[in-house]
Amino acid sequence: MSEHQTKKLDMNRRGMPKQLPEVRKHNFSEVALGYPLEIAVEEAKRCLQCKKSNCVSKCPVEINIPEFIQAIAEKDFSSGIRILKEKNCLPAVCGRVCPQEEQCEEACVLKKKGGQIAIGRLERFLADWEAEQTKLEMPKILPPTGRKVAVVGGGPAGLTVAGDLIKLGHGVTIFEALHRLGGVLFYGIPEFRLPKVIVSREVEYLKKLGVEIITDYVVGKTRTVDSLLEEYDAMFIGSGAGLPWFMNIPGENLNGIYSANEYLTRMNLMKGFLFPQYHTPIKKHRKVAVIGGGNVAMDCVRTAQRLGAEARIIYRRSRIELPARLEEIENAEEEGIIFDFLTLPIRYLGDENGWVKGIEVIKMELGEPDSSGRRRPIPIKGSETIFPVDAVVCAIGNSPNPLIPASTRGLEIGKNGNIIADEETGKTSRERVWAGGDVVTGAATVILAMGAGRKASRSIHEYLCSPGNW
The model's pLDDT over 36-67, given as tens digits with 9 standing for 90+, comes to 999 999 999 999 999 999 999 999 999 999 99
Question: CA 35, CA 435: separation in Å to the nearest integer?
Answer: 36
Q: Sorting pLDDT into bands at 50, 70 and 90, what band is 270?
A: confident
**pTM metric for this prediction:** 0.92
Q: Sorting pLDDT into bands at 50, 70 and 90, what band is 139?
A: confident
Comparing 101-105, 272-276, 357-361, 443-447, the range with the smallest average pLDDT is 272-276
Beta carbons of 346 and 362 less than 8 angstroms apart = yes
Share of the chain above pLDDT 90, in %: 87
What Cα–Cα distance (Å) separates residue 202 from each residue in 132, 178, 207, 208, 447? 14, 17, 9, 10, 15
Q: Sorting pLDDT into bands at 50, 70 and 90, what band is 277?
A: very low
The pLDDT value recorded for residue 272 is: 43
Mean pLDDT of the chain: 93
Would you give the distance in Å from CA 459 to the centre of its chain? 23
Q: Given 3-state DSSP classes, what are the helix, strand and coil percentages for the chain, each rounded to the nearest 5?
A: 35, 20, 45
Q: Sorting pLDDT into bands at 50, 70 and 90, what band is 1?
A: very low
* HEC-encoded secondary structure of 289-318: EEECCCHHHHHHHHHHHHCCCEEEEECCCC
Instruction: Please check the confidence at residue 273 and state whether its pLDDT lies above 50.
Output: no
For strand 310-314 and strand 287-291, is the pairing parallel, antiparallel, or unpaired?
A: parallel
Question: CA 221, CA 218: separation in Å to the nearest integer?
Answer: 5
The pLDDT value recorded for residue 7 is: 61
Domains of the chain: 21-131 (1.10.1060.10), 148-242+399-469 (3.50.50.60), 246-396 (3.50.50.60)
